[in-house]
Amino acid sequence: MRNFNQKREERARVNEAIRANELRVLGPEGETFNVLSKESALSKAREMGLDLIEVSPNANPPVAKIMDYGKFLYDQKKKAKEAKAKSHKTETKNVQVKIGTGEHDLELKAKKASEWLKEGHRVKFDLYLRGRAKYLDKKFLEERMERMLKLITEDYKVADGPKKSPKGMTLVLEKGKAATNKENENK
C-alpha cells in the first residue's frame, strides 16, 4: 500500500520520458544549441553517445542537457551530500548547578557551556534547589545564576529568562551578542 504522506522523490526525465515538444538544449561542455524539437535533440544526444536529461522542467521552454546520465546522478548525490554536511542541528544542552556549588566546579561547567555556545547549541542552566532552598528570595537565586553567567567566555543572549521550574530555577542561553549589565539590571 502506498503511503501518500511520504515525500515523492523528484527524478529528472531522461530521453523519451521528456514530455515537452520543444526544449532549450545545452551541450556537454555547456554550449547552447538554442531551442530544438524533442526529436532533433534526442538524435543529437544519440550522435554524441550521451543522454538527454531535462534539468529545468519548469522553464519556458524546458531546459535539457546532453550528458551521461550516470555522471548526472553522481553529481546530484554529491551536491546533496555537501548540503547535508553544511546543515547544522542545534541541541539544547543542560548544565545543572546547586546553590553551594564551588567556584572551581562553576568554572568547569561554564567552560563546557562556552564550548557548546561556540558550536551553536543552546544551553539550559538549571539551578537545582532542594527542600527549603526552593523558597529562597528570587533576587538571591538570580544572583547565583549571574555568578555562573559571568564565567562564560563566549558571547550569548538570554533566550528564556530566569524562571521557576520543577527543579528550581531555569535559564536558557543562545549564541549571540552578550547582554550588557544595564540590560540585565532592567529585567
**What pLDDT digit, counting tens, does each position of 126-169 carry?**
988 888 887 888 888 888 888 888 999 999 888 888 888 888 88
Same domain? For 108 and 142 the reply is yes
> pLDDT higher for 173 or 142?
173
> pLDDT higher for 2 or 89?
89
Same domain? For 180 and 134 the reply is yes
At 87 the pLDDT is 77
Same domain? For 66 and 152 the reply is no
Cell numbers representing residue 165 in the block: 521550574
The domain boundary residue, chosen from 73, 105, 121: 73
Within a domain: residue 1? Answer: no
pTM: 0.50
Within a domain: residue 43? Answer: yes
Q: In this model, does residue 50 exceed pLDDT 80?
A: yes
Split into its structural domains, the chain has a count of 2
Within a domain: residue 119? Answer: yes
Q: Which of 124, 132, 131, 113 is nearest to 169 (CA)?
A: 124
pLDDT confidence of 7, banded at 50, 70, 90? very low
Same domain? For 112 and 173 the reply is yes
Residue range of the domain that includes 132? 92-186
Same domain? For 38 and 116 the reply is no
Same domain? For 112 and 142 the reply is yes
Within a domain: residue 40? Answer: yes
Same domain? For 166 and 139 the reply is yes
> pLDDT higher for 185 or 43?
43
Please report, for the domain that includes residue 116, its CATH number.
Answer: 3.30.110.10
At 6 the pLDDT is 44
Report, as an integer, the average pLDDT of 42-46. 91
**What pLDDT digit, counting tens, does each position of 80-130 carry?**
888 888 777 778 899 999 888 888 999 999 999 999 999 888 999 998 888
Distances 185 to 7, 143, 148, 182 between C-alpha atoms, Å: 49, 11, 16, 5
Lowest mean pLDDT among 5-9, 14-18, 54-58, 168-172: 5-9
Strand ranges, E, within the chain: 22-26, 32-37, 51-56, 63-67, 92-98, 122-128, 156-164, 168-175
Averaged pLDDT score across all residues of the chain:
83
Vertex 100 angle, CA 97 and 103, to 5°: 80
